[in-house]
Structure 1
Amino acid sequence: MQTLFTIETAALRLTWSGPPRPARGSASDAGRPAPLVARALGAGLRLDAGGAAASDERDVVLEEETSYAVLVQSLSGEPVSLEHRDPVVVGGLVAADGGRVVHGRVRFGSQAGRARFVVRAGGRPEVELEVTVAPTKLPLSDVEAMRADVEAAAAGLSVASLRPATLAGGAREGRPAPPVWLAALAASVGALEDAVAEIDRRPALETVRPARAVRADRLRRASPETRSAARRGGMAGVLPGRPARLTDDTAAHRWIGAALDRLVSRLGALAADEVRRRPTARRESVRREIAGLEARLRRVRARPVLGGAGRAPAVPPLVLRRRPAYAAAYDALRAAERGLDLQSGGLDVATQDLAVLYETWAALVVVRTAAAVLGLSAPPRLAVDVEGADVRLRPDQAVGLAGGAAAVEVRYQPRFPAPPALLVQRPDLWLTVRQAGRNPADRNRAGRPTRRVVLDAKYRRDDAAGYRRRHGAAGPPEDALGTLHRYRDAIVGPGGEAGVVDLAAALFPGDDDPAFRTSRLWTSLDALGVGAVPLRPGHEGALRALLTRLIEP
């Protein structure tokens, strides 16, 4: 462990330590934010990274799946804390000396992006810290390509409602997935509060002329009702009229109120969905954030200017674009209802763990590659499930592909029950390849002209020299290879027959190079029926070669 950086203010000192990491250049060179940014929120700030001069930015980049030691010490005698939106990130920190010392481990898991922390002393924010968490098994361009592929398949699959890291996403029209919608809503509530407060102070009023009884001497203008009453009974006493008056019950205010009602209703439904799910520390934080957003929106809705009882117009009135406060409210409401395409813009969206992202992307690529081998141009899309504030691929779904003399079925996360086997088995992908015209002599291990294949996506790679000597190339960890042997032997047929799995392979983020094609990881696919296939964006040749060998007669 070595000290990566220290931050000191008049009230506290933070020391962040971790394994040494070779310099890889500044991320700002590529037009990205500086790897480490510290902003003073209290009195004074001194940032020291590797003995460099004090400043508010340093080229310190952290890594996924790495444990970092953090020490926060009070210099003023007040309790200190290090906070992050995701309680899992700081769950390894403990307080000592009456809260004047906080120490422990910070872990980001398989995350990549930007992570923000707030350091407090005596409950007051002293420093806002923003760090870059870099991927270790794939270049950042590959991670971005996977996210783009996954988002193209289904909006919201590559993001989450709450995770350690965030990325910048852009806006697009359409109904967004829950995690994206929550991020857009959270980013727009502040602007909405300010805009409606200004509207409440200086509303754009409209002139209305409702019919009511008026003393005859106060009439300024005769309405049809006034003239009719005068013909019947003269001009004395009280007559019906339509005197002009100003009102804040306008079409613009009703449109804003209706839009707020829709947001509050959707938040309520989302909160109800979250309550029904199994409780975790992360989900409890999501529920609190949802409740906080709902309370803020209800306070905005309760503004007197939005208390009109008339019917809201379907089309936004022109005043919502012509007056500054109204335009700001309109833009905030529209932003709260938009989704993201993750291509441009500045909205912070929490990212899925790279292990989940890789597994999802691999499933999409397997379906796409199998369709290409069969000569199909547009493979079916995998279905998604929305659970509370999360979006995931639907487990145990099947995609059927038929082309020429072959038919392929791809099942995502199928569940093979314990009886007749000893344990429940749940691989990532289960492929069934049927060749109608296959030679009867060309059968699988169980003697049937149908091939069954397990593909397990593992966002893990062992680059150790000893591993390379044993297997001939970098590949998935050996415990993952052991899991493939278990799948091959533990998955049994409905009648209890063994040997129904012809081949089990791990998909891992590696390079399809000549060295790998001669390694035991690749050659053992034929020799043992167990092996590995490197797969990452732009390097899908090994997967295509394997599927071609399985599908083509």
Structure 2
Amino acid sequence: MDTLFRIETDKVILSWSIVKKREVAPLNSQTPTPGRLHIIGRRYNLSFERIYRCDPPGTINSGIEVEAGPHLFEQTDYKVYARAKKGNKLRILHRDPVMTNNLNIEDDGKTLYGVINFGSQIGLTEFSLILDGEPEFDFLVEVFPSKLDYTTDYEKLLAEVQENLTGLALEYLRSTFQLGQEVKTPKPTHVEWLLLLRHVVDDLEQALQHIGQQPIRGLTRDPVNVRADRIKKIDSTVRAAARRGNGSGSFIPLRDNIWVKEKVMSQQARQTLDTPEHRWIAQQLLRLRQRISLVRREEAMNQRTERRNRVLSELDKLESRINRLSKQRPFDEVSSRLPTPNFSSLQLLGAPGYREAYRCCIILSMGLRIEGGPIKLSVKDLSLLYEYWCFLALLRLISKELNSNIPVKELFDIQQKGLRVLIEKGRQKSIEFSTADQRKITVSYNPRFQGESILIPQQPDLVITLDDPKWQRLHLVLDAKYRIDASPKYIDRYKSPGPPEDAVNIMHRYRDAILESEASYSKLDDRPKRTVVQAAAVFPYREQETDQFKSSLLWKSLDKIGVGALPALPDNTEYLREWLNLFLRQGGWALADRAIDHRGRAKIRDWRIAASEAVLIGVLRSSNVTQHLEWVLGNNLYYMSLLKTQKRQFAAKWLALYIPKFNGHGSVAYWAPIMGVEIVKRKEVPTPWGSGKDKDRLQVLYKLGQVTQLPKAIVNRDYDGKAQRFSSHRWTSRLALERAEILPELLIETEPEWRLYEDLMAMNQEFKLVPEKAMIQDPDVPSGRVWFVLEDGLKIRYAGASGYVLKHNTEEKYFMKLEEVLEYVKRVGAIANEH
């Protein structure tokens, strides 16, 4: 156990150690960020006897004036030990009481020890050491993320969440915000204000350019000496001059014996750009320049990073833009007179250009107060911050790919203190997009799947629902996992760092556990079905080389088994974008093909198709079976006489061959696909044996694909072990050919017949199979041709779309479900036993 730092005063000793060094994911940091240990004395005449830091170099025995310290990481156990030299009771306090829950007290409160784990909370955090109820000292440490580059990825993650929310909030305000009386809100931080300016400055510039091109002039009146006979409007100024005898020149008479000077002072109107509106906007631009200058000075005082350098460069450009706008007409012509406090006018509120400029300036002066969700979270819980970022990034990507705006009204709510973000851990929030092909794509945050179809409720982080009017609803599940395993064993198995195996295993659960029932015209199969096409864990990772992650098992398995992982970080969403495009640009058929099917259900579907495929069971010449078989195998041909009563001759998809002696038994042992059919005369069939007197008789010539042995030969014997005579061709289906073990089972051609057959065998029912004439099957609704005749005289046949037909004595019944058939069989059997 390594000691990271130790603080000793004249009354207390505090030691902080790491329990077990953990492997930190590769971060690729170019500029290592120093750790932080800032110690603040709180007691009067406090004496620090020794301060030890294991890191950074050169600070091992430095004092409280040094603020550097060892790196502390999230999700790591740290051993804390404190002992009072003098005094009685020790306590360590933190703003989050859960942080110190695992600290134990011994020796009547003089000794304190235990484990502290920051979980996924990162950033600066402060502890206070209390001795006998009085603060001894505080110490401030910095917790670093173990899965992100602190100076790049983490800052980008936080900035993107703030920027995305600010941009979306302003889009919301453009459509709903009604300007009026200002509401006092807490002053925004420099970061919040800069984000506002970044989103508002383009709108502000456009508005001011419109004002510059089409300014609304006001009227002002200037005092001018005018000849008395030319005054058109007598106002108070003229009346006062006449009454007092003011003016210039000699007196002249007017009507009613009124004498005035030849020239008197009169107010003459003229147009001006020095209006209260223009002065108000000019004042706001001055404040903007001052605020930008202040932000720049404070940012320049902080440690230089790549991101901070970009911010400073951006501030320079913004300041230059505001300066240029301030110098354009009409704002360069206004006087220094200030408008009245809280000035407003109908022109500012309603005139084109002025309205938009007023809106931008009010937002910047008031600040945009956003509460709830990521903003309420601040920057402490990094796992939740990553989850929020994934949701917002997903909305942006889908919006861009669909060329559709994000419906921002679903994300915000106006409250007295400002806008509230309607994203909160544990509460479902759905954002719906529409496409040109009438599909609806819904992105849901924390949706909860529950109901009769789901035994245990499931609540993934993110779900993309693809709702096509011509298809059933399909889901894509994403779970934001702020966890990463970069151990050599993990990389050797999956060929890349990735989320821990338990996180990937949860994706298996979501894929298989989220079930939904669907409305159907048929009630024959009303069981719930899986609706998740793929489930992926999103984790924070940036690959070392381009496309390196594509060779990992985590990426490949998404397409193969519908479960995997996707790396995503700010400026690194290419895999998430590519994965989304795969589904957003495909129709229902392609999406359904990507869903992982159950082995049994897939086999059932294959067998239903197989039931509609006719199989000709051919026989060989009894005079020379070996020669005939060799000819079939060598030429991939088989022929039989054309029979007008057997239409299946032209519908046959497969040929099977009955061999009189195969491994000691007569068996159906070979099969081949039928590739083509021709009608020829017997003499045109190239056989080594002669055609005899039937040389002009028409034959059906089958052209075969590769002839192979059946995986398991179908033996010629019945249930009593006796063989049947097999001298002419027979008909069956591919389903029967693949499932039958003995010859009578070849009569069972359809899936419903096989279900009935297996259930009757399980019930120990004695029965025999009586076939009817072979017919061409309807590929959509194949029907059976065999009657199951039970000992008590009950006969059952599968009649396709009509269900099962049952005949007993003179009574005839139809049942749609096999369960109803079996129940009826039991009742008839019970009645027969009573008699």
TM-score (norm 2): 0.40
Q: Is the 8 A contact 2:5 2:51 kept in 1?
A: yes
| Alignment CA distance shift 1:425-1:378 (3 Å) | closer
Q: Within 2, Cα distance between the matches of 1:463 and 1:386?
A: 44
| Alignment CA distance shift 1:492-1:381 (3 Å) | same
- Residues 237-293 of structure 1: CA deviation (Å, up to 9, x unaligned): xxxxxxxxxxxxxxxxxxxxxxxxxxxxxxxxxxxxxxxxxxxxxxxxxxxxxxxxx
Pairwise CA distance, 1:541: 0.1
Alignment match, 2:681: none
Q: Is the 8 A contact 2:22 2:76 kept in 1?
A: no
Q: For 1:89-100, what aligned pairs fall within 5 Å after superposition? A: 89-100=99-110
Pairwise CA distance, 1:452: 2.0
Q: Name which of 418, 421, 436 aligns with 2:454.
A: 421
TM-score (norm 1): 0.59
Q: For 1:422-441, what aligned pairs fall within 5 Å after superposition? A: 422-434=455-467
1:503 aligns with 2:534: yes
Q: For 1:344-363, what aligned pairs fall within 5 Å after superposition? A: 351-363=379-391
Which one-letter code corresponds to 2:442 in the other structure? E
Among the aligned pairs, what percent are the same residue? 32
Alignment match, 1:393: 423
1:35 aligns with 2:43: no
| Alignment CA distance shift 1:385-1:534 (3 Å) | farther
1:170 aligns with 2:203: no
Which one-letter code corresponds to 1:2 in the other structure? D
| Alignment CA distance shift 1:34-1:416 (3 Å) | closer
Alignment match, 1:55: 63
Q: Within 2, Cα distance between the matches of 1:109 and 1:13?
A: 25
Pairwise CA distance, 1:382: 5.4
| Alignment CA distance shift 1:382-1:517 (3 Å) | farther
Q: Within 1, Cα distance between the matches of 2:461 and 2:409?
A: 17
| Alignment CA distance shift 1:340-1:124 (3 Å) | farther
Alignment match, 2:557: 524
SS of 2:63's partner is coil
| Alignment CA distance shift 1:536-1:524 (3 Å) | same
Which one-letter code corresponds to 2:129 in the other structure? V
Alignment match, 2:123: 113
Q: Within 2, Cα distance between the matches of 1:530 and 1:149?
A: 28
Pairwise CA distance, 1:515: 2.6
1:143 aligns with 2:140: no
Q: Within 1, Cα distance between the matches of 2:554 and 2:529?
A: 24
Which one-letter code corresponds to 1:8 in the other structure? E
Pairwise CA distance, 1:315: 6.7
Pairwise CA distance, 1:34: 6.2
Pairwise CA distance, 1:100: 0.5
Pairwise CA distance, 1:30: 8.2
| Alignment CA distance shift 1:398-1:341 (3 Å) | closer
Alignment match, 1:551: 584
Q: Is the 8 A contact 2:473 2:531 kept in 1?
A: no
Q: Within 1, Cα distance between the matches of 2:377 and 2:533?
A: 41
1:371 aligns with 2:431: no
Q: Is the 8 A contact 1:489 1:498 kept in 2?
A: no
Alignment match, 1:133: 143
Q: For 1:218-297, what aligned pairs fall within 5 Å after superposition? A: none
Q: Within 2, Cα distance between the matches of 1:502 and 1:16?
A: 48
Q: Is the 8 A contact 1:169 1:341 kept in 2?
A: no
Q: For 1:470-485, what aligned pairs fall within 5 Å after superposition? A: 470-485=493-508
Pairwise CA distance, 1:32: 8.4
Q: Within 1, Cα distance between the matches of 2:80 and 2:391?
A: 37
Q: For 1:211-222, what aligned pairs fall within 5 Å after superposition? A: none
SS of 1:363's partner is helix
| Alignment CA distance shift 1:30-1:115 (3 Å) | farther
Q: Within 1, Cα distance between the matches of 2:23 and 2:508?
A: 37
Alignment match, 2:411: 383
Q: Name which of 32, 47, 51 aligns with 1:44.
A: 47
* Gap runs ≥5 in structure 2: 25-29, 169-187, 197-339, 343-365, 519-526, 587-835
Q: Is the 8 A contact 1:451 1:550 kept in 2?
A: no
Q: Within 2, Cα distance between the matches of 1:384 and 1:339?
A: 13
Q: Is the 8 A contact 1:382 1:393 kept in 2?
A: no
Q: Within 2, Cα distance between the matches of 1:494 and 1:396?
A: 21
Q: Within 2, Cα distance between the matches of 1:536 and 1:420?
A: 36
Name the stretch that deviates more: 101-110 or 30-39. Answer: 30-39
RMSD: 3.8
Alignment match, 2:617: none
Alignment match, 1:201: none
Pairwise CA distance, 1:392: 6.0
**How many residues are aligned here?**
367
Q: Within 2, Cα distance between the matches of 1:386 and 1:135?
A: 34
Q: Within 2, Cα distance between the matches of 1:502 and 1:113?
A: 38
Pairwise CA distance, 1:22: 10
Alignment match, 1:464: 487
- Residues 24-73 of structure 1: CA deviation (Å, up to 9, x unaligned): xxxxx989896111122231123111282231133312101111110110
Which one-letter code corresponds to 2:190 in the other structure? G
Q: Within 2, Cα distance between the matches of 1:340 and 1:384?
A: 12
Q: Within 1, Cα distance between the matches of 2:550 and 2:136?
A: 54
SS of 1:546's partner is helix
| Alignment CA distance shift 1:31-1:40 (3 Å) | farther
- Residues 210-258 of structure 1: CA deviation (Å, up to 9, x unaligned): xxxxxxxxxxxxxxxxxxxxxxxxxxxxxxxxxxxxxxxxxxxxxxxxx
Q: Is the 8 A contact 1:74 1:100 kept in 2?
A: yes
Which one-letter code corresponds to 1:500 in the other structure? T
Q: Name which of 65, 73, 76 aligns with 2:83.
A: 73
| Alignment CA distance shift 1:130-1:352 (3 Å) | closer
Pairwise CA distance, 1:450: 5.4
Q: Within 2, Cα distance between the matches of 1:391 and 1:98?
A: 48
| Alignment CA distance shift 1:410-1:35 (3 Å) | same
Q: Within 1, Cα distance between the matches of 2:370 and 2:476?
A: 34
Q: Is the 8 A contact 2:34 2:69 kept in 1?
A: no
SS of 2:100's partner is coil
| Alignment CA distance shift 1:34-1:358 (3 Å) | closer
Max Rg structure: 2
SS of 1:128's partner is strand
Q: Is the 8 A contact 2:23 2:487 kept in 1?
A: no
Q: Is the 8 A contact 1:435 1:551 kept in 2?
A: no
Q: Within 1, Cα distance between the matches of 2:141 and 2:505?
A: 36
| Alignment CA distance shift 1:392-1:376 (3 Å) | closer
- Residues 92-111 of structure 1: CA deviation (Å, up to 9, x unaligned): 11211011111111121101
Pairwise CA distance, 1:368: 0.9
* Gap runs ≥5 in structure 1: 24-28, 158-167, 177-313, 317-336, 343-347, 441-447
Q: Is the 8 A contact 2:395 2:406 kept in 1?
A: no
Q: Within 2, Cα distance between the matches of 1:135 and 1:427?
A: 24
Pairwise CA distance, 1:549: 0.7
Which one-letter code corresponds to 2:63 in the other structure? S
Name the stretch that deviates more: 123-132 or 402-411. Answer: 402-411
Name the stretch that deviates more: 406-415 or 477-486. Answer: 406-415
